[in-house]
Amino acid sequence: MNQPPAQQINIELGEKEAEGIYSNLAVISHSPAEFVIDFTRMVPGAPKTRVYARIIMTPQHAKSLLNALKDNITKYEQQFGEIRIFAEAAKDNRPMGFHPEQSADSGQNTTK
């Protein structure tokens, strides 16, 4: 069986994008046609934040992103050990970092 040759993609990374954006809070919502991920960050003592980046993708691309993240986390943990999720915060029952939290609107999850 003949397989087509693997396609190579040339990705350009601009100077501003190369700096990156730090995020410790993502708000994820969806409609039948798309997923929207808003990246923000919470700072201790600040009651308000803003969206620093918004990514909009199809459900198929969102699932591909999920699979790619799972694959990369598995490889990371094989090389560096298990990623522990804020054990101290869990002891104190304080939510920190990214975790799924169902909102009142069934179409929206907040990931902290």
Q: Which of 102, 100, 20 is nearest to 66 (CA)?
A: 100
Alpha-helix residue ranges (DSSP H) falling in 1-112: 15-19, 59-80, 87-91
Q: Taking the domains of the chain in order of start, what are their residue ranges?
A: 20-111
Q: What's the pTM? A: 0.68
pLDDT tens per residue, range 51-83: 999 999 999 999 999 999 999 999 999 999 999
Tokens of 39: 């990246």
Task: Specify the pLDDT at position 3.
Answer: 74
Is residue 95 pLDDT above 80, yes or no?
no
Q: Would you call 108 exposed, middle or buried from its count of C-beta atoms within 10 A (0-12, 13-18, 19+)?
A: middle
pLDDT tens per residue, range 25-36: 999 999 999 999
